[in-house]
Amino acid sequence: MLGQKNNLKKIDIVKHFVLEGYKRSTVYDAIKRCEIGLAIEDCPRSDCPTSFNKKNLKCLQNAAENRVIWLALSAKGFSKPFIGATQGPAATTDVYIHQCLSKLLSFINEHHVHDDYVFWPDFASSHYARETTEWLIQHNIKFISKEVNPQKVPKAQPIEDF
């Protein structure tokens, strides 16, 4: 079955996939399954649980609460992310300005210093706080104002699907 039409030998296939970064044993296992007519599928690994029990799932949910993950992205790349904890359900204006927008400014200076760009925040309260908008204006960062940012139009906010 293997290599019948194009004279490929098993070793040639293994060499190809090893060069692609696959483990040799994984390739041989896939070939063996193919030769005996079984499907080649992604099987659970011994070090990864196939499902979480309720206790582990609750721990994961609690760990994810009150976390902020922020980064700026454009066609030219993305900024250094900010990953941090919050005291409430969202990042405060102070955290947003000092931790996130400082990274935005570095990103703009690195990738878009001579470009015509617009910063498009979402509707988090800290994104349109008075201090935030003053900071953006002070640093000459053009941004979409809250009045023209369409709230209920998902197609106009592609980042929400990212």
101 exposed, middle or buried (CB, 10 Å; 0-12, 13-18, 19+)?
Answer: buried
pLDDT digits (tens, 9 = 90+) for 132-158: 999 999 999 998 888 887 766 655 555
Does residue 32 sit in helix, strand or coil? helix
Q: What pLDDT, on a 0 to 100 scale, did the predictor assign at position 157?
A: 56
What sign has the CA pseudo-torsion 75, 70, 149, 102?
Answer: negative
The answer, yes or no, to whether residue 9 has pLDDT greater than 80, is: no
Q: What are phi and psi of 157, to 5 degrees?
A: -125, 70
Residues of the chain above pLDDT 70, percent:
70
What superfamily in CATH does domain 60-161 come from?
Answer: Ribonuclease H-like superfamily/Ribonuclease H (3.30.420.10)
Q: Average the pLDDT over 105-125 and give the result.
A: 87
Q: What pLDDT, on a 0 to 100 scale, did the predictor assign at position 1?
A: 45
Angle between helices 24-35 and 10-19 (to 10 degrees): 140
pLDDT digits (tens, 9 = 90+) for 63-83: 666 677 788 888 888 888 888
Domain spans of the chain, in order of start: 1-46, 60-161
**Angstrom distance (rounded) from CA 17 to CA 15:** 6
